Structure formats: structure tokens, C-alpha cells
Amino acid sequence: MKNITTIFFDIDGTLIDHKGAQQKAIEQIRKKYLPDFSNERFQTNWLKFTKKNWLLFEQGKINFLDQKIARVRDTWKSFDRSIDNKYAEKIISEYVSSYEFNLTSFPHILSTLRYLYKKKYRLGIISNGNNSQQIKKLKKINVYDLFEEKLIFISEKIGYAKPDVRIFHQAQKISGTNPTQIAFFGDDINNDIIPAKNLHWQTILIDYGNALSHLNFSRIVSFKDIEKIY
């Protein structure tokens, strides 16, 4: 990858341990509000309705707050509990606070991004999600200032969500970089790797659990491995 000048990263699952923070926050909510139900069942239902309502948000059918409220109400309904929007908003607010408190970066994120920054690579972000929330995550792990501000592309602000190739094309256009000089790191094959490949970017799959070695994709199992590439 000698010709690379611009490197984009996903956030959740790539820089941030989204699942770890999510699991802790879900469990805290269950213990407080529905302790009679198993953690496994509550987690399963919560995640199912998170995905359902997030897709509606990405499709522009509901707004960001409504998808959060609907997630809680749908989960409660699955346990034969009925709550109004105001109470659901209280619960989701507590969930978000717990989630943000428990957010951590994966190992070597800060040191490796500093390494790339010092080597004069242009660093950017392509992420799905709420713009202010995703920016807050980058600031919490102290990496926001390492990214070029105009190269931070969050789906809510751009109007397209991964895997829609248009968000990648927008990033390429604004960066003014030849596609063969762009690299993208992400943990999701369908959302991250395939659409970036379709634009002829260099792609590296983040596989922290080392579970995808059977797939024919360039991949790394530690973020620090990036330093061996550049």
C-alpha cells in the first residue's frame, strides 16, 4: 500500500468497543427495571428491537429520538409490559448515559492513529449513526483532533448510510483523492469492506476476534498491525 495518502476508519467495532459498552448498559437497565427476566432473553430482545428501529431511522421513516423510544417500548411489550413515551425516554436516557460511561477504545487505537498522523497521512471517518453522538465518541477516546474535520462523514449528516456506496463516493469526492490512494478499515464486510472495494479503495478488515480467517479478505487482528503496513 505504498501509494496510500488518505485513510478512512469506521467507528463502532473498529475504534470503539461498541458491543462491550452496549452489553453493560443493557444489563444495567434490565437489573433496574425488569430483574425478573433473564439477562440473555432481555439482551436478545433489546438488540432485536434496536436493529429493527435503527433500520427505520436509517431509511428516514422515524427520527433519532423516536427510534430510541420505540426500542424501549418494543422491548417492554415483548415482556407484556406497557409504558408511555415519557417513561421510555427516561429509560433510554439512562441507557445512553451508561453506554457512554462504559465506552472504551480497543487497544493501540490512540498510539497507532498518532503514528499515522505524524507520518502525514490524511485521516478520516465514515460511520453510520447520529452525528453528535459519533463525534462525542471520538472525543471521549481523545482521537478527534487527529482526523481532518472535512473528512468526517457520519450518515445522519450526509444523508446516506453504509453500505450505500454514495457515502463512500462523497468521502472520495470531498477528499479529492484518487481511489487507488485511499484505504478503509472496518469490521463489517457488508457495510465497510464491499462498498469500499467497489470504488477500488484498498480495504482492510478489522477482525479482533480472529474469527474470519477463512474469508478471502485482507485483514488484521490488532490495530497496531497497521503500523506494519504503513
pLDDT of residue 1: 61
**pLDDT lower than 50: segments of the chain:** none
pLDDT of residue 18: 95
Which residues on neighbouring strands pair with residue 37, listed in sequence order?
A: none
Q: How far is CA 115 from CA 76, 120, 223, 227, in A?
A: 46, 9, 12, 8
User: In 3-state terms, the chain is what percent helix, strand and coil (to 5)?
Assistant: 55, 10, 30
Which is it for strands 152-154 and 182-186: parallel, antiparallel or unpaired?
unpaired
pLDDT of residue 158: 93
pLDDT of residue 59: 83
Q: What share of the chain has pLDDT > 90, as a percent?
A: 89
Domains of the chain: 6-16+105-229 (3.40.50.1000), 19-102 (1.10.150.240)
Distance between start and end Cα atoms, the chain: 7
pTM for the model stands at 0.91
Sheet arrangement for strand 152-154: 152-154, 122-127, 6-9, 182-186, 202-206, 219-220
pLDDT of residue 58: 80
- The residues, any chain, with a CB within 8 Å of residue 44's CB and separated by 6 or more, are none
pLDDT tens digits along 19-77:
999 999 999 999 999 999 999 999 999 999 999 998 898 888 998 899 999 999 999 99
- Cα 76 → chain centroid: 25
Query: How many whole angstroms separate alpha carbon 194 and alpha carbon 140?
Result: 29
